[in-house]
């Protein structure tokens, strides 16, 4: 199920779509696609997260004053009845989309597959100054149920998967290329926290994978569902491979060390000793029966 934005009807439309889907199919799990979802209305993101939770906090809004906290909670009634859920995210998932992903991840209700989200975790308010003038102020930050700030850092996936090798190269060279952290005047993240820097992406499509015809991130999300939502099992059975910080494995890189370890293990393995099957022995001749004794006269 894909949600492209959070407008005033998103929660209702999502409920209706899921109800129809359940009526037509016997679902074993659900993939919630929030990739390239720029966000939208807060109440609609709370409503969507509420579809899959049995209660608990969805998100909190905290201002400068420690007492200035507004908490939003889910009601009882998981529409998926505990079946596994995977949420797909990428750097285009922002704001309200990050609220949904963070809530389901923190409450252990869904696994996140894809890439780290945009990192838009601030709350703005528009103050009317009259005479057609207004000022937009940042008044608070959004926090996930466990107390994580979304601002700049974003929501990191449980299983990091690039959609293409080109995308992996971008992340290997600059993780901030498309994110809130790329803006110099963006509100800082919480003290001591920072967005993950450039790095090797855990999984990348194989070179022969047709990214135009196939959706590699979706394929891996379905793999997680196949393992009943167990990300560790899916990660242990990858379809792609890790991509080094450059197209080649640099000396000392994690990618090169993996290759060296595999090569060393292969060399250390003893070769199987080939043995020729023993030639069958010719059958023994049966013993000749003893001649009867000649009776004496």
Active site positions, annotated? 95, 106, 120
Which position has the token pair 């609609």?
44
- Integer Cα distance of 145 and 117 in angstroms: 17
- Integer Cα distance of 289 and 284 in angstroms: 15
Nearest CA-CA partner of 198 in 219, 167, 228, 226 = 167
CB 98 within 8 A of CB 123: no
Angstrom CA distances, 215 to 177, 211, 247, stand at: 22, 6, 22
What are the b/e assignments for 262-287, b being 16+ CB within 10 Å? Answer: eeeeeeeeeeeeeeeeeeeeeeeeee
């Amino acid at each position: 199920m894909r949600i492209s934005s959070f407008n005033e009807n998103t929660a209702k439309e999502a409920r209706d779509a899921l109800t129809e889907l359940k009526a037509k199919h016997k679902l074993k799990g659900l993939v919630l696609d929030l990739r390239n979802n720029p966000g939208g209305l807060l109440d609609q993101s709370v409503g969507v997260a509420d579809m899959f939770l049995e209660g608990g906090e969805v998100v909190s809004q905290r201002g400068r004053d420690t007492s200035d906290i507004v908490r939003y909670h889910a009601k009882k009634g998981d529409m998926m009845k505990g079946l596994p859920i995977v949420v797909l995210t990428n750097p285009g998932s922002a704001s309200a989309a990050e609220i949904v992903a963070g809530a389901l991840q923190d409450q252990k209700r869904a696994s996140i597959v894809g890439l780290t989200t945009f990192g838009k975790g601030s709350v703005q308010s528009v103050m009317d100054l009259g005479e057609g003038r207004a000022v937009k102020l940042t008044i608070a930050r959004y926090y996930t149920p466990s107390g994580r700030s979304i601002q700049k850092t974003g929501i990191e996936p449980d299983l990091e998967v690039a959609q293409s090798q080109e995308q992996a190269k971008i992340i290997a060279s600059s993780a901030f290329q498309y994110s809130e952290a790329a803006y110099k005047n963006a509100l800082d993240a919480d003290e001591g926290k920072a967005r993950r820097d450039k790095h090797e992406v855990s999984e990348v499509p194989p070179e022969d994978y047709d990214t135009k015809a196939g959706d590699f991130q979706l394929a891996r999300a379905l793999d997680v569902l196949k393992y009943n939502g167990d990300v560790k099992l899916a990660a242990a059975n990858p379809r792609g491979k890790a991509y080094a910080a450059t197209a080649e494995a640099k000396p000392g890189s994690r990618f090169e060390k993996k290759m060296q370890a595999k090569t060393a293990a292969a060399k250390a393995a003893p070769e199987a000793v080939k043995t020729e099957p023993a030639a069958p022995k010719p059958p023994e001749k049966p013993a000749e029966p003893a001649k009867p004794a000649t009776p004496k006269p």
